[in-house]
Structure 1
């Protein structure tokens, strides 16, 4: 059976759109769907199927609109909500997202009483993330968990913690963060928010960020 290149283009567009629907991150979904709908639109026009071409062109424009809103939004509201004990909500949050947490941490159970710093990150009043850190030395916090729920993984939360709210840590005398991680996805996140790869005295790899 011979399949010409236009049919392959249609199959490719269909596959990309299908992949986009598997994304838990809204940002990734929009970008991948934009690519798929654009190719599908081109495919529709090339084969003379104008309804297919125009419909997918419209979908592509909608994706561009929402991506523009995501990247240009200056009205989002962030807030740290400190956690003082192992509340029922804290335990439920960890349990609900335990499979996602495993993608960034080798632990899914944490005790607030063991932490020096612990807070939820609210994004437009939605609990978008959880930050837990213990004291490593007088000026260093060891990050035990820095987790953001799938819908908000666009690095804005990390920027909020380590840049916009760095005074929160400086006022408490902390100027350095360290994080040990063997998980590739977490390592990429740490690098993206300004951590540098280091090696400790025992030859173990870790990531470090300083603020001032």
Structure 2
């Protein structure tokens, strides 16, 4: 492969990464990929001597850096809203709107909800509010005095940067402790969701099922 072909490949790679970045639903992922693609394409512009291409993409790179710094340094406001009734109309709308995405991570959950296979007294149903927007949904079912099974822990595509999960499982542990919950149990077959659970402190429990059973022991910062 000669030098000309290598240079062309640099341009192709930069272009493809920029194109892929535009398909991201997460703004942070979009910014990171766009930053990488623009940096590569700017390098390509300098190599071939095209200053308009080089400086335009350098400018795009700096814009991405500016907004990434701004996003990572910004303080988000979180709040939990507890839904007392499983028949809540907004909850129904939320599940209908995100049904396809929810079923990727929690197969059959929406059908289970529609069939009313829940008992209101058994469930903890929470909407996670982030900067006045609904960022996620958590529904847990108490299966013993100190154990809760996570039925769904869903973050909307715009807020899949782990901050919502950290708020539930790290910063808000006292919410569960006040209910006497010491252990959370969940299961999943989805690789992306399993990675998320591992980051949130869940560990795999040995079992004979095809689905992986994961457990998180709740320890508040006051006791750690």
Of 145, 148, 153, 1:141 maps to: 148
Matched with 2:182 is 175
Q: Which residue of 2 aligns with 1:84?
A: 84
Distance 1:167 1:189 in 2: 21
**Is residue 82–residue 118 contact of structure 1 (8 Å, CA) maintained in 2?**
yes
Q: Does the 8 Å CA contact 1:94/1:108 hold for their aligned counterparts? A: no
Compute the RMSD of aligned alpha carbons.
1.8
User: Which is further off, 4-13 or 154-163?
Assistant: 4-13
What residue in structure 1 maps to residue 196 of structure 2? 189
Q: Distance in 2 between matches of 1:165 and 1:28?
A: 26
Counterpart-to-counterpart distance in 2, 1:203 and 1:35? 38
- The whole-number CA distance in structure 1 between the counterparts of 2:156 and 2:210 is 32
The question of whether the paired residues in 2 share the 8 Å contact of 1:103 and 1:185 is answered with no
TM-score w.r.t. length of structure 2 = 0.88
Structure 2: which 5+ residue stretches go unaligned?
220-224
Question: CA offset at residue 4 of structure 1?
Answer: 1.8
SS in 2 for 1:106: coil
State the secondary structure of the residue aligned to 1:103. helix
Q: State the partner residue of 1:60.
A: 61
State the distance in 1 between where 2:33 and 2:208 align.
Answer: 43
Structure 1: give runs of 5+ residues left out of the alignment. Answer: none
TM-score with structure 1 setting the length: 0.93
Q: Distance in 2 between matches of 1:67 and 1:36?
A: 15
Cα drift, residue 201 of structure 1: 7.5
Deviations 1:84-138, CA, capped at 9 Å, x for gaps: 1222211111011111112211124225645521110000010000000101211
- The answer to whether the 8 A contact 1:131-1:147 is kept is yes
Residue from 200, 203, 206 that aligns with 2:213: 206
CA positional deviation for 1:202: 6.8
Return the alpha-carbon distance in structure 2 between the equivalents of residues 51 and 205 of structure 1: 52
How far did residue 204 of structure 1 move?
6.2
Alignment coverage as a number of residue pairs: 210
Deviation at 1:184, TM superposition (A): 1.1
C-alpha deviation, 1:200, in angstroms = 4.0
Quote the offset at 1:139 in angstroms: 0.6
State the match for 2:19 in structure 1.
18
For 1:72, the equivalent position in structure 2 comes to 73
SS at match of 1:22: coil
The answer to whether the 8 Å contact 1:17/1:37 transfers is yes
